[in-house]
Amino acid sequence: EGCLVCKGPHWLKDFPTATGAQREEAQSKFREVKEQRLSALRSKSARYATPAGTVRVNKLLEVPYMPDTGADKSIVPQNIMDSLLAVQPTLVVTPLNTQVEEILLNLALSTVAGMVSMRSVPCLILPGDGDEFLLGCDALKELGIDAERQLAQLAGQTTLATDVDEFPVSDALPEGQEVHTVDDDAKQLVAQAVANGMPAQFLTRLY
């Protein structure tokens, strides 16, 4: 914990005399520690949540991200910010009134349908050593994804009690049953997001 260069009780961004070589070494050590942590996680049989994909922050640092519909804003862990500031020290961090810092970041989200680009996304900096970027409700709504609205649209539809079993007790699919592929589902999700208001310019490559 603390500075990745001198091991002092401060963050890497507060060590302005670090040379380029020191910063590169610090980032290399961060990657090694992160890989050790990820290796330990991979050895577990199950995880509580699975990242949706990776996000490239400011075209420099690629980290896992998780859509978080319970967070009002996107959240980036402090150690990820330290690594980013080590290679892009011109980034401006804004202190907030609640002892929390905020920063504007450009994001490139990897999805099954292609890359989705977002510019100047406000993100809160979370102290600690987390390694996952949390995409908040504000960013999701900007992409036309409103979980509360989509759940509200389900009100009054067929309940599980009256729903017909899609797969009866048999190893074979019912005759005439259409088999949906992952690609079909991805196309349907993209179409739904566009229908919910996603601006077309966010899609740089669909398929």
The model's pLDDT over 84-135, given as tens digits with 9 standing for 90+, comes to 888 888 889 998 877 788 999 999 998 888 889 999 999 999 887 777 888 8
pTM of the model: 0.45
Q: Could you report the per-residue pLDDT of 26-52, keeping only the tens digit for each?
A: 667 667 766 666 554 444 433 444 556
CATH of 12-148 given 2.40.70.10, 3.40.50.410, 2.40.50.140, 2.60.120.920: 2.40.70.10
Calpha distance 124→121 (Å, rounded) = 10
Of 13 and 69, the structure prediction assigns the larger pLDDT to: 69
pLDDT tier, 170 (very low <50, low <70, confident <90, very high otherwise): low
Residue 53's SS3 state is strand
The residues near 21 (Cβ < 8 Å, ≥ 6 apart) are none
Where along the chain do its domains lie?
12-148
Identify whether the C-beta of residue 80 lies closer than 8 Å to the C-beta of residue 65.
Answer: no
Calpha distance 132→48 (Å, rounded) = 13
77-91, 121-135, 149-163, 174-188: segment of lowest average pLDDT: 174-188
Q: Percent of the chain scored above 90 by pLDDT?
A: 7
pLDDT at 107: 92
